[in-house]
Amino acid sequence: MLQRVANYYADKLERFGSTAAGVDWNSAESQRLRFSQLLRLEPDAGEHSVNDYGCGYGALVDYLRARGLAWQYRGFDISDSMIARARLLHHDDPNCSFTADEGALSPADYTFASGIFNVTLGHDEGAWKDYVIETLATLNRITRQAFAFNLLSTYSDPARRRSDLFYADPLFFFDLCKQRFAPRVALLHDYPLYEFTIVVRK
């Protein structure tokens, strides 16, 4: 299932390069807006470690650096071509590392996952939902302080939905995170995209 998704993103990268379109976003502005929502977990000042789960070519590195957050960064992606591009772009940053091996991820202070649950490519919705839940358990396991992720929302306009994308019930995932992962959970559905962000503070 995930190999097809990896091939999909590899094709996007080949066609559009190290851009927002290269990781299947409509614009650089919407990509940055998603990052800003993930960063609403409001970490304490100081040095921190970060896991970027589904890192693509490492765009989050540049966003963090632009905000003056020189954190220890580890990026993971299922696409080997994305990892190769990320290493090329950020080879001169000693605080960055990238891997296609999920087992190489050690626990970090914070974990972010942006856009990794959207593209199903026609896979069974129930099986995809199970994959999302399983992955959230992984995010929880590799996080010490807080993690944040986003999903397309079932509150989006039905006429605009695409059959190859997964739309999630924000209330279900809010409750899931409250029940399984931590008592402090924030549901962010107040920004102008057809999606929501959930922040889980442990």
For residue 34, what are the contacts with CB-CB under 8 A and spacing of at least 6? Answer: 25, 114, 115, 150, 193, 195, 197
Length of the chain: 202
Written as tens digits, the pLDDT of the chain (202 aa) is 676 766 766 666 677 767 766 566 667 888 899 999 999 886 666 789 999 999 999 999 999 999 888 789 999 999 999 999 999 999 999 999 999 999 999 999 999 999 999 998 778 899 999 999 999 999 999 999 999 999 999 999 888 888 889 999 999 999 999 999 999 999 999 999 999 999 999 9
Question: 188 in helix, strand or coil?
Answer: strand
Reading the block at residue 21, the tokens are 């379109």
For the chain, which domains are there? Answer: 2-201 (3.40.50.150)
Contact 13, 59 (CB under 8 A): no
pTM of the model: 0.90
